Chains A and B, each alone.
Chain A
């Protein structure tokens, strides 16, 4: 798999959401609050309506306070776990183990706390005796849990999917790019295209005569023979080729910074050049 640092260097726009405080603003908080309101209503009223005047499959009443509480909290656990799975966009073995493990732990603790043994030790503290094993063997209860969790998560998935389709952020585009052909060949294509463009553009301006005569380009590690107006052929990574509008060199002859960027930073320049005016 690609090393993450290289990917971040090749797509510097990924830093923009952080700079613009896009993900931690009042609007984001408001969206979060709406989602919690909706989830709370779903998590209470669906179990309420499902247990209202309902009975177990052996005829005994199902709507006692302990069963209702257990049903609601199990629905909550499942909804939260699924939501967590959605938020967690990087499922390593460690992550998976802890998420599934916490769900398993919930059941272990529940069955332990509601067991006969704990009740006999301290009757006043464990009033929920027998609830877990009597409630969780009802198909009614599990159907309610599945319905509630999916209903909680449905709006989130829909909203995110719509956002990705209608106004994708740079993060989404990068992730989609990962799913489609890998970037390095694209990069070469881009370079060639833009250099071709820049070749045309610069043919109308003063050109790089002073560059050639100054010999500055000789400082670069590996340079292919090059002249203005001719796009470099072959793999561009092996040499320097002007990208974008100025690529650090001004056609007007104004002095440029003497810093010699290496190959990686050139692609950085490519992005910066589009946005910033030439130095």
Chain B
């Protein structure tokens, strides 16, 4: 047996060869080495994925073939959803709400009304949902989002007496705590009450006792801040009355607006939306189009890669490793 020298893990160079010396030294050395198990010697059975043509190309084709039908399904579903948007900001001179938008301001006492006629071309079946939409209203501004007191909204007595600091400057008024405090509550979108220093206190938001106070639906919907500057929030649901008649038949309708929420000062827009709902939600063709696009790209890429693989790939695959 040839003598060999090696370094063990501690960095000590030791020589072991035949003979008694090896046995004595080898005993202590063997303790410092990790055991010769698969786990400690990193010999665990492993799967090594390699990007071969046999795995990548079928994967591309399968993804393409799955995404395209999903995209088509989503797009068709989205197209079948009926939706109508009516902007009642009153920007144009021809709009019925133009006078209201010009004259109404934050400290007007008299409310302004206007009515906008609109037409439904198709009957709206099943439940119809009515939303109010705002544009250019940044509910996702960080200071705005933080300006609330969830303990207070949860009914915590101590928070009702002393709102959190986050609500400043809408936490106290005349040395009295404001409930609900914060900028979010203060700017609540309303159909009937003034936003700044609400005319009606929170416990008179609705005559229905189940919808009053902090659990008022409109209040809850408003307090959940929207992510984007253009958003819509649920206002009311028009329930289907009976199965035979559509909920909103075809015809002419009128929207009566009590113009209470001035948005012209920040170039915002207000609108009312009527929409039906499907399993994928409201009308949004983006997801359908995106799936079709990505599916087609995948499929095309699969074909292109297949061509490349046939022309160039085989040339390199059989190459001699030694060269």
Q: Which residues of A contact B (CB under 8 A)?
A: 1, 3, 11, 13, 46, 48-69, 85-86, 89-95, 119-120, 123-124, 127, 138-140, 143-144, 147, 150-151, 154, 157-158, 160-162, 164-168, 170, 173-180, 183, 186, 190, 270-271, 274
Chain B residue, CB-CB nearest to A50: B287
B contact residues around A154 at 8 Å (CB):
294, 297-298, 301
Q: For the complex, give the distance between the alpha carbons of A69 and B308 in Å.
A: 40
CB contact between A271 and one of B164, B221, B322 (< 8 Å): that residue: B322
Q: With A68-B227, A124-B150, A161-B305 as given contacts, are A91 and B164 in contact (CB-CB < 8 Å)?
A: no
A15 CB to nearest B CB, Å: 14
Q: Tell me whether B127 and A165 are in contact (CB under 8 A).
A: no
Chain A residue, CB-CB nearest to B57: A161
One digit per residue, 1 when the CB lies within 8 angstroms of any chain A CB and 0 when it does not, for chain B 226-265 equals 1110111110010000000000000000000000000000
CB contact between A92 and one of B45, B225, B226, B279 (< 8 Å): that residue: B45
Q: Tell me whether B312 and A143 are in contact (CB under 8 A).
A: no
The reply on B197 being an interface residue by CB < 8 A is no
What are 21 contact pairs spanning A and B, CB under 8 A?
A1-B45, A11-B321, A50-B286, A52-B284, A57-B279, A57-B280, A59-B237, A65-B139, A93-B44, A94-B44, A140-B287, A143-B291, A147-B291, A165-B309, A166-B308, A170-B321, A174-B321, A175-B50, A186-B321, A190-B320, A190-B322
The SS class assigned to the B binding surface is mixed
The reply on B80 being an interface residue by CB < 8 A is no
Q: Tell me whether B228 and A52 are in contact (CB under 8 A).
A: yes
CB contact between A61 and one of B48, B140, B166, B234 (< 8 Å): that residue: B234
Q: Tell me whether B230 and A65 are in contact (CB under 8 A).
A: no
Q: Tell me whether A91 and B287 are in contact (CB under 8 A).
A: no
Q: For the complex, give the distance between the alpha carbons of A175 and B312 in Å.
A: 18
The SS class assigned to the A binding surface is helix
A contact residues around B50 at 8 Å (CB):
89, 175-176, 178-179
B130 CB to nearest A CB, Å: 10
Q: Tell me whether B46 and A64 are in contact (CB under 8 A).
A: no
Q: Tell me whether A54 and B284 are in contact (CB under 8 A).
A: yes
B87 CB to nearest A CB, Å: 14
Q: For the complex, give the distance between the alpha carbons of A179 and B305 in Å.
A: 20
The reply on B316 being an interface residue by CB < 8 A is yes
Interface residues of B in 271-321 (CB under 8 A from A): 275, 277-284, 286-287, 290-291, 294, 297-298, 301, 305, 308-309, 312-313, 316-317, 319-321
Q: Tell me whether B48 and A65 are in contact (CB under 8 A).
A: no
Q: Tell me whether A64 and B51 are in contact (CB under 8 A).
A: no
Q: Tell me whether A58 and B226 are in contact (CB under 8 A).
A: no
Q: Tell me whether B131 and A124 are in contact (CB under 8 A).
A: no
Interface residues of B in 108-151 (CB under 8 A from A): 127, 129, 131, 133, 139-140, 145, 149-151
B137 CB to nearest A CB, Å: 13
